[in-house]
Structure formats: structure tokens, C-alpha cells
Amino acid sequence: MIKHIFMILTFPLILLAQDQGASIKFDHDKADTGEIVQGEVAEHVFPFVNEGTDTLRISNVYSS
């Protein structure tokens, strides 16, 4: 019985521990720019938010 009560009381703490860290969420992750004329500059904004509890660090950004 005590074992079950202990498990019930500690389970929420385990779930909270899993929510730690940074977590990025994008509004969308693809952009169709259509045809781009040579020399023309193409630009697109990808809005995002950090849904985690830690600082979000972005590195190694590249296009495909």
C-alpha cells in the first residue's frame, strides 16, 4: 500500500522532469517560393517559439 502511494506521489515529478529543456515549435517548416529569376533575392520568414523551459540555442542553420 505504501509503495502505491509513493508511486502516485512521485509520478507527477517524473512527468515534470521530462518537460525540462528547450523545445522549438515552428508555425510551418516549408516554403514554396515558386520560380526565382537568377539574381533575384528570395526571402521567407519561419516564425517559431521556444515551448521549453530552458534557453533555446540555434546553430547550423542551412537551406536545402
More confidently predicted of 25 and 62: 25
Instruction: Determine the Cα–Cα distance for residues 54 and 34; give it in Å rounded to an integer.
Output: 37
User: pLDDT digit string (tens) for 4-23?
Assistant: 565 666 656 555 555 568 98
Q: Which of 24, 27, 23 is nearest to 47 (CA)?
A: 27
The model's pTM is 0.51
The answer to whether 61 and 29 are in contact (CB under 8 A) is: no
- Select the more confidently predicted residue: 19 or 40: 40
